[in-house]
Structure 1
Amino acid sequence: MVTGTALEAELLELAGTVPDPELPVLTLRELGVLRAVHVHGTDAVEVDLTPTYTGCPAIEAMSVDIERVLRAHGMREVTVRTVLSPAWSTDDITPEGREKLREFGIAPPRARRAAGPVPLPLGPTRTRPTATNATTAMDTTTVTDTDAGTSAAPYPETRTEPIRCPHCGSADTELLSRFSSTACKALRRCLGCREPFDHFKEL
């Protein structure tokens, strides 16, 4: 007989395999929006789901897909509960999820490494490589982080991690639009290979 704890872990894993409706290359586990599963009795389950932002239109589709998967596993009653605290952050995306975004042609969000409010300074929108020393032919620096709507942690201490092209890896990129196919992505262009690409903005 499966214990409640083991069953919850099993159902959490199953719910985590549901693909994100807006980014089907990622599962809900990889996106980091699936918080917990609570089993009540033998065939009732409550799932805690945190949207990427308040009012996210994909939350309903996520809920329907989770219900379908868990009902197929024998759960008669499935309730998906929207949990807003703690808020979701792009730091919740797993390393595997970040790599999948890159392989899919989307620049993954940079790690914020700091909690609290995200500042929104205004400024230029280009990132560019700059020569630094004789031992390193080319180092990268970022003119600004503001195109992502956030300020990432220094990388290293005196620099900000650049947004790299997912196609060629160049740090020489520019912002074309602060919004792309979804509100969570910005449209950028690589000045190296000249290809446009989406950047998953930091939150």
Structure 2
Amino acid sequence: MVTTAHTEPTEVDGATERLWAAAASVTDPELPMLTLADLGILREVRVEADGTAAVWITPTYSGCPAMAEMRVDVDRAARAAGFDRVEVRTALSPAWTTDWITDEGRRKLTEHGISAPGEAPRRPAGPVPLTLAPTRTVPRCPLCGAADTEELSRFGATSCKSLHRCRACLEPFEHVKEI
């Protein structure tokens, strides 16, 4: 049974539903207010004929260091849900995009003072064109809602976030970059 980002399994039996719920409850180690389901990286769950609980997750970007911790946490959650054999697998295609963050995930980010990403850039099918100029967005302040913000650093606490300051309330905040 294949799921797409943002949706729960459509062919549900008790074990599959239990596995989905366990994997969906795991939080992201870098953004702990978000579950893997909120983030849109939980791709598929399946209880195979031999009883193996298989869970597919997609990295937010190539080489994401949080993937190792996510695997351990998904394994632990599935075992706590009663599965003895667990395999956490990686789905690389299609590549993750910030568009897969759920509305609930975006709400949680803002609630925690982090600016949610805007719409990801659209690219034509085929080779990705190389652009040497950085793409910059001007996010709204998640604290006061002002649009007058400035980027302080292209990299925040993690490489998927940038650091900004609101010119209206003068508060710093992080922004999840559009991918």
Aligned residues: 165
User: Which aligned segments of 4 or more residues in structure 1 are displaced greater than 6 angstroms?
Assistant: none
TM-score, length-scaled by structure 2: 0.85
1:164-183 aligned at under 5 Å gives the runs 164-183=140-159
Task: Give 1:193's match in structure 2, choosing from 166, 169, 177.
Answer: 169
Determine which of 8, 11, 25 is the counterpart of 1:17: 25
1:120-153 CA distances to partner (integer Å, 9 max, x unpaired)? 5637xxxxxxxxxxxxxxxxxxxxxx335xxxxx
Q: What is the alpha-carbon distance in structure 1 between the residues aligned to residue 84 and residue 18 of structure 2? A: 16
User: Which residue is equivalent to 2:136?
Assistant: 147
Does residue 57 in structure 1 map to residue 61 in structure 2?
no
Alignment of 1:107-122 (within 5 A): 107-112=115-120, 114-116=122-124, 117=128, 120=131, 122=133
Gaps of 5+ in 1: 124-145, 149-161
Q: Please say which structure displays the higher CA radius of gyration.
A: 1
User: Deviation per CA, 1:10-43, whole angstroms, max 9, x where unpaired?
Assistant: 3112201101011000000000000001211363
Q: CA RMSD in A?
A: 1.9
Cα 1:174–1:120 change in 2 (3 A) is farther
Residue segments in structure 2 that go unaligned for 5+ positions in a row: 1-10
Corresponding position: 1:84 with 2:60 = no
1:113: Cα distance to partner?
Answer: 7.0
Which secondary structure does the structure 2 equivalent of 1:97 belong to?
Answer: helix
SS at match of 2:61: coil
